[in-house]
Structure 1
């Protein structure tokens, strides 16, 4: 369920926290491909699109639009859209999310497509999905994959960079100052009024976390108002506009001279490794992007981490690296790639 209407004063989403919920609240590790897909479909229909997205919409218009015939009827420009289109598993990547979507229980499909029918006429394809038709779901999966490839992949580095900037600020604020300090940094569309997070919303709604915590997902395509899942039984999730509440003056700033002499400061190879990050990536991906060996990428990442320019965390069998606010500020002043 998302913000598909102009906000009407007085209507809001109220997310009710307990002490345990504050401890279990976290920011997603990176962009979610399914949330970005769904929310970008809404941006395609806007009559007044912010200038930063005009080039993206023109790009989409020049590509194959056939996937839109499958997708747009499931995602109306206003109001409800089915929760199964944004599976939690998509946090682990597009293909993992697609497998989860194609495995949605028939009862859930029937219920959520039924809710969609109350707000918009159903296409024959949507009716087939409601019946759990394997062929209809495969068509939907193909449309999502084609749309992802044509509309989002060419912009994914830009999407990731904006989300990583927001995520880095919020996770560092949460780490050093606590979850409440992080929640206070969203305004004005979201306001922390302990123990409730209030947000402008198209309908009046209460979400009780009841010890489950809250997953906050920064989004490139989200509008001013955040988006929550319609089903309160699903894991509590709130998608918000990346960078909407990040105050740039709170990020460390460096002089232009520092940026111009980035290679001199770090050395050509280490500067190239830093610039290759862009958004979160594994050590193997970092080595490939920077054109260095795996051992060299690991060594440079260690030095950059010790200098406070990147942060690293292990998930399963891979180490993931992302820029810190200091690293982001340094790169902001050095837009030109450093040659090896």
Structure 2
């Protein structure tokens, strides 16, 4: 059971993550590869992952198990991959013995079950070099080639759920993260393992330190809650569009015929606010061409445009996001 107790102050401090994070998505991708649920969506993807999974990355499977209850040090909330690897090594200096016992109890069998894990917890250089190589190999094969799709999945979810939050409130937005999610008073609950409870029934809730919502293109299970060193929390949940269902090109699908390929690509990118210059750079088109496409989309009620100093910012409206969900 996941149970999160909210105070009134906590409910006013729920935000969305700014972007997907490479090691978080990597760990959840390797977890998704070991799960057996949602075969219609992830079945072919799992088959391809099993075939292409690099041998140097296999030690990670001793740490990452199908329930997603992974060692926290492997999933730093850092957007740059190299900086995230540094954060893993830094956090690894403080691994506790009880974490080792738990990791070994969950590891796969073999000639020396948990032997590599004990070397890792013992700060042996060779073990940490093996971990670094495993993370790099897995990232290069599993995440880097699919990063564009991961970002599109993330942005589309945040855009849709932010609209839900604005129209129906934070309780509806949180309840939408899982079919079995429910509210009991000011406690948010989702049945299913692993058990995690934050806050308490005494009204203190999360202590007013905030909750960050983070959709994942790979995670398929019950939302997961992670505590951060500063006292705040992250709620990680399945994105509306999992990676296997994300089109290879952000402008593929029936929207091409409706809007035209370039204009559909503009609308896809505006699930996150972007300037005219950013759109021109991302799509490789001229500024006048961007202005023409945004003018047409704005007239149709699919985007909004506002000025921020010298910059002109565009973003998809609720109608635009609904069109993307139904046609993209």
Q: Do they superpose with TM above 0.5?
A: yes
Could you tell me how far 1:73 is from its partner in structure 2?
Answer: 0.5
Contact 1:282/1:320, CA 8 A, preserved across alignment? yes
Q: How many residues align?
A: 302
C-alpha distance in 2 between matches for 1:194 and 1:305:
42
Contact 2:273/2:314, CA 8 A, preserved across alignment? yes
The 1:297/1:74 distance shift into structure 2, 3 A limit, reads: farther
Is 2:225 the counterpart of 1:239?
no
| 1:107 match: secondary structure | coil
Alignment match of 1:99 (pick from 86, 90, 93): 86
Aligned pairs for 1:164-203 (under 5 A) are 164-203=155-194
Q: Please give the per-residue CA displacement for 1:97-138, whole angstroms capped at 9, x wherever unaligned.
A: 222112215223655334323443653332222123444334
C-alpha distance in 1 between matches for 2:89 and 2:316:
34
Contact 1:83/1:230, CA 8 A, preserved across alignment? no
Q: Where does residue 290 of structure 1 map in the other structure?
A: 283
Is 2:223 the counterpart of 1:226?
yes
Q: Where does residue 120 of structure 1 map in the other structure?
A: 107
Alignment match of 2:64 (pick from 50, 61, 75): 75
Q: Where does residue 338 of structure 1 map in the other structure?
A: none
Q: TM-score, normalised by structure 1?
A: 0.72
Q: Please give the per-residue CA displacement for 1:33-75, whole angstroms capped at 9, x wherever unaligned.
A: 2222222222222345522222322322332421332210111
Aligned pairs for 1:1-340 (under 5 A) are 12-47=1-36, 49-78=38-67, 80-89=69-78, 92-108=79-95, 110=97, 112-120=99-107, 123-208=114-199, 209-229=206-226, 235-243=232-240, 260-263=257-260, 270-275=263-268, 277=269, 280=272, 286-293=279-286, 295=287, 299=291, 303=295, 309-310=302-303, 323-331=316-324
| 1:201 match: secondary structure | coil
Q: TM-score, normalised by structure 2?
A: 0.75
* Unpaired runs of at least 5, structure 1: 1-11, 245-255, 336-340
The 1:84/1:333 distance shift into structure 2, 3 A limit, reads: closer
The 1:331/1:113 distance shift into structure 2, 3 A limit, reads: same
Could you tell me how far 1:299 is from its partner in structure 2?
Answer: 4.6
* Unpaired runs of at least 5, structure 2: 200-205, 242-252
How large is the RMSD of aligned CA atoms in angstroms?
3.8
Contact 2:305/2:315, CA 8 A, preserved across alignment? yes
C-alpha distance in 1 between matches for 2:312 and 2:126:
38
Contact 1:60/1:151, CA 8 A, preserved across alignment? yes
| 1:229 match: secondary structure | strand
The 1:163/1:311 distance shift into structure 2, 3 A limit, reads: farther
Contact 1:40/1:221, CA 8 A, preserved across alignment? yes
- Higher mean Cα deviation, 204-213 or 135-144? 135-144
